[in-house]
Structures are given as C-alpha cells and as structure tokens.
Amino acid sequence: DDRVYFFEAVALPFGGVSAVTGFNRAARSLKLAMSRLLWIINTSYYDDFCQIEVSGLEKSAAQAAERFMALLGWEIARGDKLKPFSSSFNILGVTVSFDRSAEGAIHVSNKQERLPDLWKLLLQMESDPGLRLALEVLSEAGPREVLRWGEAPPVLVFTDGACEKDGALTTHGAVLLDPATGVQEFFGERMPDYLVQRWRGQGLKQLVFFAELLPVAVAKATWQHVLRNRLCIFFLDNEAARACLIRSFTPVANATSILMDVAKQDVASHSLNWYSREFVSSGLAFTPATGSVDVGAAVAFAHQSLPASSIKHCWEQGFWSQIFGPPRDPFEDMDGTSYKRPDAPLVESPEEPKTKLARSEVLCLWGAMLETWPRSLEIIDQLMQLAPESRGSMVEDLLGHKAPATLRKRYRSIVGYDGFLKSKGMEFPGTEESFYVYLCQMRDEGKPASSRKSLLEAITFVRFVLGMQDLKSLGESRRCHGSARQKDFRPRKQASPFSVDELSRLHLVLERDPEPWNRVMAGTVLLAVYGRTRWEDLEHAETLIVDRDSAGTAAFIEAGVGVHKTMGAKLMRGQLLPIVAPAVGVVESNWVEQYVQARSLESDEAGAWIRRFQDAVDIR
C-alpha cells in the first residue's frame, strides 16, 4: 500500500548488516556478567556457550547459569542441544577433554565424526602440496595437549631480517632469552642463494618479508628443546610477517612453505606462542649479518615492551579526583564478588595439587637445563637418545623422588654456575679451576657464604643423584670448600620458638574456643610442637593413632607420615614415619583428649556451624 511502517525488532534479523557483530557484543556481555557476578567459568562462540566447573558444583553452576539467562529474558535451547556436564565436550567441531586434568593436561582434538569428512575432502585435493602436508599433520599430530600455566616466565625470542643492495645481501637471525634457565643464545647468517633465487622468481626485488619470516621457523627448529611446553613471545619488526604467523596464512605462494614448517614445529613442541611487534627504535642491538648481540639491550627492550598503565581521565587525577572521587567498580557490593571460589578437589591422587604443580614445573626446568649439557656425560647421552616427548619421564625417574623445594634450591645454584661456564665458552661441569674461580667471583660480588655452600651442596647433589662422577674433583676440592667457609661469626637468623605463654594460649584455644575449626588448628599446632616435627611433614600425615593407658586415658598420640625427607632411605621403606607426642604438655589438662574431641565434630555442632555460615553468606 506504499505506506511506511515502523516496528521494534525483538530479535536481530537474519542476514542483517552488523547483526552478527551486535549479537557478539550481547553474548560477550552475558559471558562477562556470569563470570563477574556468579563466578561461572564460561565462554561463548556466537550463540554456543560452554561452562567448566569443579566436581561437586556442576548442578549448582548449571542452575545458576540457566536462571541467570531466564532472568534477563534469554531463551536456552533444550533437548539434545542442552548437554549435561561431562569430562569431555564438543564445541563447533572440536572435542575438549578433561580426562587428564588432574595431571595438568587438557586435550583438544577434532570431533571423531568430522575426521572421515576431513579425510575425504583432503584426499580429493591431494595433488596440492599444501594439502598433502595437511594430511600428514592430521595423521601425525594427535590431540593438542594444553598444559596448565606454570611459574616459569615466558621465553623471549627476538627475530630480525634485512634485505640490502636490491636483494644482493639478504640476512636473518634471532636472539633467545630464557629467564627461567638463564639460557642466552643467538644465530645470524646470510640467506642461502637458492632461497633468494626462488623468492626472486616471482619478480620481487624487496625480500624483507621473507627475511623476517624465515628466522621464526629456524628459531623454532633450533631451540625446540627450550620452547617445549613453554609460553613463548616472538618479537618481529615486520607487520606483514607477524600477521601471517598469527593467522597461519599468506597469499604469497613462496612463503606458504615457511608457514607450514612453523606449524609443524608448533605441533611438535606443544608451545604456546604470542607474536608481538618489535620496533627498530627499541634499541635491540642485533645485526643478522654478523650475529653480534647486545643481551643487555635485548632485556631492556623486553622490559620496555611490558604493557604500560592505562591513561587516566582528567576527572581521575589532580584536584578533580577530590571532587569526583576515585573510579568505582560497577560490580562492587554485588553478590558473588566477595567470596573466594573453592579449590578443585583432589581425585585419586595422594599428592596435593600445589605440590604436584611445583614438582612438575621444577622438573621441567631441570629437563631444559640437562638438555644443554654435553653428551659426553653418560646420563646426558642416555637422555638425548630418547625421543623428545620421552625425556620428561626420564627426568622424573631421576629426580621425581626429591622434594620440589630441594630441587628448586639445587637448580638455582647449578644454573648460575652453568651460565658462568657458558659465558666462558666452556661446557658443564667445567674444571676444578673454573669452579674455584666462580666461587671466588661470588665472594667478590658480596654473595654470602651460604650461597657458596649451597653451590657445593648442589654439586654433590648432581654427582650422586645423577651419577656424574666427573664432579668428584669439584666436590672434594679443599680450596673450594675453604672459599665457601664463613670467615666471621654471625648470629643465626631464624624464627623464635614458641614460648610457654604462647603454648598456654594454644591450650586455652583448644579447650574453650567455641569455633571448632580454631580448636582443630590449635590442636594440630600442639601436635607439631610436642611431636618435634616439621609442618610440611605433618601435612602428609596418613594415620592418627591415640595410645591409651590401662585406665583408658590418652597418653600419647602418633601420626604416620608417608611423604617426608627420608622416605627413600632403606630403613623407611614400606613403613610410615612415626611422629609421637605426649598427652601432657605445659599445662595440666590432657590436650590429646581435647584434640580428638575437636576433630570429631558432633552433628549439632556441624548444624550450628552450617546455620552460622548460611547467615553470614546472604545468597539472593
């Protein structure tokens, strides 16, 4: 009827301009709101949302997400599309598996239903060399293993390329800095003529794009043992090369083979890579043609590349901030922002997650350092004969029985000496003379005698634990032991022991405090004091036995510890380390009876505690 009608759309029109962008903004806001307000771990891809939750909270998390969506007026697909929680799930053709999450690994793979279709599609176009490589990668790669984040800082790799004299002089190179192990390596060379001629075959004169792209592939192949299972930051000063690496695609035919090599190296090393822009004005003193490197400038640039603080508005600074006040979090004081999310429960593993994570990280550091040592050492030759993916297991077999704190302490001592040898062009373990020179250098630099003694202990540790008898002359050198000796008397700095008054207060808490958890804590501290044990050992107690006299009164309490410092000794094999404490302490009351009573929480006490907790946590 040629009349114009206006209407209010209740949904985004299919195919409308910016409809997808508009929906993505709404989906992102939903994801953020559930994360900030309900502390739900979730993500979305267009209209597909997935949640991750610890065992025991699945039902609560699912109900919270569904009610949240309903409250805001969003309809959720039901039936087959609404999947229950599972250890693995599918999202957009990809299967994410948490079956090995307790070991710190998540597997990501193609859906089994899609693999036949992919094979059929690729086989139809097998004549293309790029697709042939895709077939090889698809058959060899297996699931992508994503490891949990560790404490080790990322590996920094600076790459550079140059094309001068109309392509007659094309060079490339890279610098690697590993803050975790102290490894500092570089390479630089002139491009092979056959590569230059191939790149020129397309009529190109300026080859800087290829010169910037190739060192990334060479660096990943050269330093694969350093980059394995690590976070890596690559700095490039060519935006075109950086964009190709991020997308793993380039329209330039001759550059495709380089990207294929980069992809294969990523699959082999399981590294997580980030490509950042490096500007020439950063001061990285690196000349690919000569291979010279200024490590100090490289580290300075890495520090300068850290994100700067955000710009403040005028009303957030100066006297205006006194008028408007400090910026306020819009989600402040809302439910779900003031309580800590519970830690994931430990399933079928006797070792605490924190200890297991620390052990895994320090074994990774040891493995990276051992792979840089010469193969003339028998144990290193045995390690390097294994496939790269099997070396971690051998390192764990060699060092896994040691405490993570011990391994980290020994590693820090050895890595300093190892770096000193590399700076002198020598290989580990060096000589007795070089070891003595390093100890004297530590003394001249003002390092305490304890640091030098720790290095001697670390040398002995490596000698006997790894069976490196080449270290005998270093560990038994008289002058080396003399350089590590404390020359002047200094009082020992350590925490003060519990006084009688402080122990009496703990007894008072155990006897009279109305809070059951306070009583349990006080009793556990008394068990550690009277049992003359370390808190770390008590954390691994597996049994608790009360020894009573003929009248039935508690006389002693015994804790059996399975994980302790001497658990590998022959004397302790097959039995727990007993920690025995008397029931009578600095006060007359029997604290063991009170401790046992505090540990056995009665139903009325548990009910009172739960009601008190529910009153404190106001969930609306």
Residue 13 has pLDDT above 70, yes or no: yes
Say yes or no: 255 and 292 in one domain: yes
Higher pLDDT, 434 or 600: 434
Residue 333 has pLDDT above 50, yes or no: no
Q: Residue 299: its pLDDT value, please?
A: 53
Average pLDDT over residues 392-411: 88
Secondary structure of 282-332 as H, E, C letters: HCCCEECCCCEECHHHHHHHHHHCCCCCCCCCHHHCHHHHHHHCCCCCCCC
* Range(s) of the domain holding residue 446: 353-483
Q: Residue 331: its pLDDT value, please?
A: 42
The answer to whether position 345 is within a domain reads: no
Residue 314 CB-half CA count within 13 A:
0
Instruction: Band the pLDDT of 34: cuts 50, 70, 90.
Output: very high
Average pLDDT over residues 399-407: 86
Instruction: Band the pLDDT of 360: cuts 50, 70, 90.
Output: confident
CATH code, domain with 246: 3.30.420.10
The answer to whether position 339 is within a domain reads: no
Tell me, rounded to whole angstroms, the distance of Cα 35 from its chain centroid. Answer: 22
Say yes or no: 536 and 511 in one domain: yes
The answer to whether position 99 is within a domain reads: no
Say yes or no: 400 and 541 in one domain: no
Average pLDDT over residues 187-211: 82
Q: Does the CA dihedral 188-194-199-205 come out positive or negative? A: positive
Contacts of 528 (CB under 8 A, 6+ apart): 534, 535, 538
Residue 339 has pLDDT above 80, yes or no: no
Q: What is the pLDDT of residues 47-96, one digit of tens each?
A: 888 898 888 898 999 999 999 999 998 988 888 888 888 888 887 778 88
| Number of domains within the chain | 4
Say yes or no: 530 and 474 in one domain: no
The answer to whether position 38 is within a domain reads: yes
Q: Measure the CA–CA gap between 564 and 568, rounded to whole angstroms.
A: 9
Q: Which one-letter amino acid corresponds to residue 95?
A: T
Contact 213, 180 (CB under 8 A): no
Share of the chain above pLDDT 70, in %: 77
Q: How far is CA 167 from CA 163, 202, 235, 251, in A?
A: 5, 13, 23, 21
Say yes or no: 454 and 372 in one domain: yes
Q: Which of 48, 63, 85 is the last residue of a domain?
A: 85
What would the two tokens of residue 242 be?
């950086």
Say yes or no: 479 and 531 in one domain: no
Q: Which one-letter amino acid corresponds to residue 521?
A: M
What is the DSSP-derived secondary structure letter of residue 81? G
Q: What is the pLDDT of residues 232-284, one digit of tens each?
A: 999 998 888 898 999 888 887 778 889 888 988 888 888 889 999 865 444 44
Higher pLDDT, 160 or 539: 160
Say yes or no: 430 and 550 in one domain: no
The answer to whether position 325 is within a domain reads: no
Q: Residue 254: its pLDDT value, please?
A: 79
- State whether residue 52 is helix, strand or coil: strand
Q: Measure the CA–CA gap between 54 and 56, rounded to whole angstroms.
A: 6
Q: Residue 291: its pLDDT value, please?
A: 45
Residue 591 CB-half CA count within 13 A:
29
Say yes or no: 165 and 300 in one domain: yes
Instruction: Band the pLDDT of 517: cuts 50, 70, 90.
Output: confident
The answer to whether position 146 is within a domain reads: no
Average pLDDT over residues 483-495: 70
Q: What are phi and psi of 477, to 5 degrees?
A: -70, 125
The answer to whether position 116 is within a domain reads: no
- State whether residue 161 is helix, strand or coil: strand
Q: Which helix (H) or strand (E) holds 42?
A: strand 41-45
Q: Which of 448, 483, 518 is the last residue of a domain?
A: 483
**Average pLDDT, rounded, for the chain:** 79
Say yes or no: 164 and 276 in one domain: yes
The pTM (predicted TM-score) of the whole model is 0.42
Q: Measure the CA–CA gap between 364 and 606, rounded to whole angstroms.
A: 44
Q: Which helix (H) or strand (E) holds 245?
A: helix 239-247
Say yes or no: 516 and 463 in one domain: no
Q: Measure the CA–CA gap between 396 and 382, rounded to whole angstroms.
A: 14
Instruction: Band the pLDDT of 223: cuts 50, 70, 90.
Output: very high
The answer to whether position 391 is within a domain reads: yes
Secondary structure of 396-441 as H, E, C letters: HHHHCCCCHHHHHHHHHHHHHHHHHHHHCCCCCCCCHHHHHHHHHH
Q: Which of 483, 518, 535 is the last residue of a domain?
A: 483
Q: Measure the CA–CA gap between 412 and 22, rounded to whole angstroms.
A: 52
Cis peptide before 429 (omega within 30 of 0): yes
Say yes or no: 603 and 544 in one domain: yes
Say yes or no: 79 and 171 in one domain: no
